[in-house]
Amino acid sequence: MKRNITRRDFLNGVAVTAGAAMMPWQLFAAGDPEKAADYYPPALTGLRGSHPGSFDAAHSLRDGTFWDAAGTPQDTGESYDLIIVGGGISGLSAAHFYRKSMGADARILILDNHDDFGGHAKRNEFRVGNAFRLGYGGTFSIESPAPYSKEARGLIEELGIDVASYPKYHDANLYRSLGLHSKIFFDRETFGADRLVVSPSSIRGGEEEYVASADREVWKQFLVDAPLATQAKSDLERLRHDSKDYFPGLSSAEKKAKLARISYAAFLKDVVKVHEDVVKLYQALPQGLFGLGIDAVSAQDAWGLDLPGFEGMKLDPTPGKGMNRDTIPNAEAEKYFFHFPDGNASIARLLVRSLNPEVLPGNSTADIIMSKANYSKLDTSASPVRIRLNSTAVRVKHSGDAATAKEVEVAYARAGKVYTAKAKNCILACWHVVIPYICEELPQEQKRALASAQKVPLLYTNVALRNWTSFQKLNTNAVYAPGCYHTRMALDLPVSIGGYECAHKPEEPIVVHMMKTPCKPGKPSREQHSLGRIELFNTTFETMERKIREQLARTLGSGGFDPARDIAAITVNRWPHGYAYEYNSLFDSFWLEGGETPCEVARKTFGRIAIANADAGAYAYTDEAINQAWRAVGDIAKS
């Protein structure tokens, strides 16, 4: 654990691999980095996501210093039908819908500040010996708490994705056949001892399969092994079996209204009166959904997530006012699920293929998995749709008064210079919090609404292992770690498709996915997200890498895991601006009281400028990114 990180490690991508990710591509191909022969972002390891170089111009714009040194923008002379700011799924979908509406010859320019397309739908590739492995660096899958809309489902079908066919690609019994199931890691700093204990119940609120053992004796074993106070164990049993009504005399609706206004942590501590160890155990459970712990998630939402304590409350099954959509069950939505080995990066790649087939040749959903993108073809004059990476939009304005202007001018920073291009219309499919800085002519009320969309910060870490025998020896495939740096880790879902083969045997290389949301318990949700974002920007990759190695060693050490020997590569997908912010009944009064929401104000079309992205629906799912793209295209089509 304490060995020095050598220069060889730094350059070769063994154990710590930030070097390639931090390399400025313009050193290899000044001003046109995508044309470099070795330009291939998916294979980069180290610090990815919002990588170094992707946010500098935007932060300078935010701080009011950008134009001091930017100089006069150079006019490219380019004119388009549509310029889209943001090359994530919403931006790519907007291009798709616009072409359907205006014709395949419509000229479109997509600008993105990152060195890869897809936004949060990020593809991570690994080579471990002779094995090729994929990981998802952001958006996990085709899924949503509510059914996909007609438009979102239609796009998925147009791309050739047969969601119902997923079971034939997913080896759902692989881990169970090896006796693996979910466990909980108790750390000594939080619970007094490092101990890996079988999980007594399935864990909801995340992306991985945290499936508990079906053995009825598991609860007894858990209570024996878990390093919890005696009173905490007694309280857990009470939570499971007690049929007490904690709000007697109130109707179901009145109880839900009360639960919507207190956190689940407060409900456990002040109403049920459990030991603090119980609160610590459940604290991190909802982080995978909201980027927040139970201190900032309502008791009503906890009820919706099937957390304990509500058995005797006699709540009717209908959703209460102010419930988050993630916590409202929907049978149709639960069946609509498809996970590609690289997550929804495959959706982004299929969209790019439909927009410019030269980038990703092929003709099927399956063959997209093993296709290698040709980044030099993204931005060519021969293609009606051009995708320009490493290009940060810094100013979007109408050429004249917004009410009568015939075009929009977009200025963007690229390789140390500023350029301008014009278009008949513009769709801002970027993060809402950025828009007020790049589009100053928007009304102040709309700017305030856009700024309220605090993104949820998170780390999606992929660790390529040379084998997973330590997981097998410890009989686990997924671990919940409420007190650790990463609160969840899981072996990659076993999906084989299009010539890609997942790991079938513990002796084979595999990708372990780890997740962290940098919460600051006790503070309001938006403040937690703001402080967490600062933490992620200020934490070095070396610190993250040490945390990863230490956590894996402590969790899996008794199974023979050795981080120096078993870790082949690490990719940390840092997303200081991660999930779209979803409204919370504890902190957003309008979510309980009704009325126009901030996202409805924020997404209003202004002249020839429309706004998309999942932020526009305050809903952190791919289908919402698609829905908002469809709406934005419809808005400008009317203008």
Residues 94-136 have pLDDT tens digits of: 999 999 999 999 999 999 999 999 999 999 999 999 999 999 9
Question: Encoding tokens for residue 541?
Answer: 């990759």
pLDDT tens figures, 484-519 = 999 999 999 999 999 999 999 999 999 999 999 999
pLDDT tens for 394-409 read 999 999 999 999 999 9
Buried b (16+ CB within 10 A) or exposed e, 389-411: bbbbbbbbbbeeebeebebbbbb
What are the φ and ψ backbone dihedral angles of 67, each rounded to 5 degrees? -75, -10
> 82 with 425: CB under 8 angstroms?
yes
In degrees rounded to 5, what are phi and psi of residue 278?
Answer: -70, -40
Give the confidence band of 215 by pLDDT, cuts at 50, 70, 90.
low
Q: What is the pLDDT of residues 612-633, one digit of tens each?
A: 999 999 999 999 999 999 999 9
Q: What is the pLDDT of residue 200?
A: 86
Asked whether 139 and 344 are in contact (CB, 8 A), the reply is: yes
- The band of 598, judged by pLDDT with boundaries at 50, 70 and 90, is very high
Across the chain, what does the average pLDDT equal?
92
Domain spans in the chain, listed from the N-terminal domain onward: 7-52+121-139+457-475+483-579, 56-118+341-454+583-638
> Confidence class of residue 15 from pLDDT cuts 50, 70 and 90?
very low
Check residue 242 and give its pLDDT: 87
* pLDDT for the residue numbered 204: 52
**What are the backbone angles phi and psi of residue 124, rounded to the nearest 5°?**
-115, 125
Predicted pLDDT at 4 = 43
In this prediction, residues 39-67 reach a mean pLDDT of 95
pLDDT digit string (tens) for 327-339?
A: 999 999 999 999 9
Residue 10, pLDDT score: 34
Cα distances from 603 to residues 445, 457, 529, 618, 621, in angstroms, run: 11, 22, 22, 11, 17
Mean per-residue pLDDT, 12-29:
38
**What is the tens place of the pLDDT at every residue in 139-198?**
999 999 999 999 999 999 999 999 999 999 999 999 999 999 999 999 999 999 999 999
The confidence score (pLDDT) of residue 241 equals 86
Return the CATH number of the domain spanning residue range 56-118+341-454+583-638: 3.50.50.60
Written as one letter, the residue type at 90 is S
Q: pLDDT at residue 211 above 60?
A: no
Which of 95, 52, 145, 630 lies closest to 348, judged by CA? 95
pLDDT in tens, 413-435: 999 999 999 999 999 999 999 99
